[in-house]
Amino acid sequence: MKIGIVCYPTFGGSGVVATELGKALADHGHQVHFITYSQPARLDFFSENLFYHEVTVSNYPLFDYPPYELALASRLVDVVRYEQLDILHVHYAIPHASAAYMAKQILASEGLNIPVVTTLHGTDITLVGKDMTYKPVVTFSINQSDGVTAVSANLKSDTCKYFEIQNEIRVIPNFIDLSRFSHRAKDHFKKAIAPNGEKIVVHTSNFRKVKRVQDVVRVFAAINERVPSKLLLAGDGPERTHIEQLCRELNLKDDVRFLGKLDAVEEILSVSDLFLLPSETESFGLAALEAMACKVPVVSSNAGGIPELNVEGVTGFLNDVGDIEGMAKNAIYILEDEARLKEFKERALNRAKEFDISIIMPVYESYYHEVIARSRAKLSV
């Protein structure tokens, strides 16, 4: 099968998932073509089945904003036409689904049929998509897709709640490549971070308000009063200045490390004891899954799709958004007893194994075949 994948090529969840899926499909013998404005961050090795097509946007004085959607649609037409793709899989509704629809119509005028699968990842629905500026286009693009998937049942529910959806939405959860996260903890690294045997608490995100990173700091402050600990903050974003200021106000500067954006986040997770995810909303919680794959239990909010991943009292605990006291209490419960911590670590890993790419990739593969067959059946009618 020849598959075209459109995604944002960044470290964000949708880009990471799309890239890892493409790599797995290529390893399984499919020819995979990535079509985006720069090479995806995780597409960092050569494979005979992987191809990259850059979308270039011309700047003209006439345009206040470069017309990326038009450039993408034109590039999709070009790649489908000359690489003879069997299916397009676009990740994130805006603007990828609408660009794919435009490309599909152009190709149809030439007698070419290209089925389109759209995967909804979260903020394309819960944040951007609800903006009335985009809502009609998002609704139309989803309904015109030949197949639609969502990364959690909660996201599917939100999509049907906020949009007039006529298409069936198939829930296919996010995943991780367990082999990537099976690193053993580096003792010398852990010793450097926690020289006196302190517990290591970690949080990774893009430091936006919705991630509530200041809650992470406040929960950690309460943990540190009972269990000597260190906090690692991986990522960066608009809230960093406020977070740094809060650390100073709480006199935590010696116990908190800002690590910046990391590609090899598994090296940090492999030495950690607890992951904090107090987000206001999460469509799935990929960062939590990556932590669990490194045997790190999770204390999180009960928002969005997180409860579909983090099992209460088994892999960690769930609390209401903003419940700093409750999160701290549950975190201390996990960390203060070594035997208990070990049990939570083992259960977190066992849960993560249920989302290994070797299990989820064949589900996508089967769905592609289903969508292609259904699309061809419509043409023959």
* pLDDT (0 to 100) of residue 353: 96
pLDDT exceeds 90 at position 331: yes
* pLDDT (0 to 100) of residue 45: 66
Q: Do 126 and 157 touch, CB atoms closer than 8 A?
A: no
In whole angstroms, give the CA distance from residue 123 to residue 155. 10
The residue that leads in pLDDT, 381 or 153, is 153
Angle at 100 between CA 128 and CA 378, to 5 degrees: 120
User: What is the band of 65 on the pLDDT scale with cuts at 50, 70, 90?
Assistant: low
Domain locations along the chain: 2-175+357-380, 178-353
Residues 264-285 have a mean pLDDT of 92
Residues 96-100 have a mean pLDDT of 93
Flag the least confident range among 67-76, 168-177, 346-355, 362-371: 67-76
pLDDT exceeds 70 at position 151: yes
Name 268's Cβ contacts closer than 8 Å, sequence gap at least 6.
202, 204, 232, 234, 259, 262
Percent of the chain with pLDDT over 70: 93
Summarize pLDDT for 343-362 with one digit per residue, the tens: 999 999 999 999 999 999 99
CA distances from 254 to 194, 213, 257, 330 (A): 11, 18, 8, 24
* pLDDT (0 to 100) of residue 129: 52
Flag the least confident range among 130-139, 216-225, 297-306, 355-364: 130-139
Compute CA 164 distance to the chain's CA centroid, rounded to the nearest angstrom.
25
In whole angstroms, give the CA distance from residue 72 to residue 96. 8
What is the architecture of the domain spanning 2-175+357-380? 3-Layer(aba) Sandwich (3.40)
Q: Tokens 């201390």 identify what position?
A: 332
Question: Closest by alpha carbon to 219, among 272, 273, 277, 271?
Answer: 277
H/E segment holding residue 223:
helix 213-226
pLDDT exceeds 80 at position 263: no
Indicate the DSSP class of residue 308. Answer: G
Q: Do 34 and 53 touch, CB atoms closer than 8 A?
A: yes
In whole angstroms, give the CA distance from residue 272 to residue 231. 9
pLDDT exceeds 90 at position 378: no
Percent of the chain with pLDDT over 90: 70
* pLDDT (0 to 100) of residue 14: 77
pLDDT exceeds 70 at position 23: yes
Assign a CATH topology to domain 178-353: Rossmann fold (3.40.50)
Average pLDDT, the chain: 91
Q: Do domains 2-175+357-380 and 178-353 have the same CATH topology?
A: yes
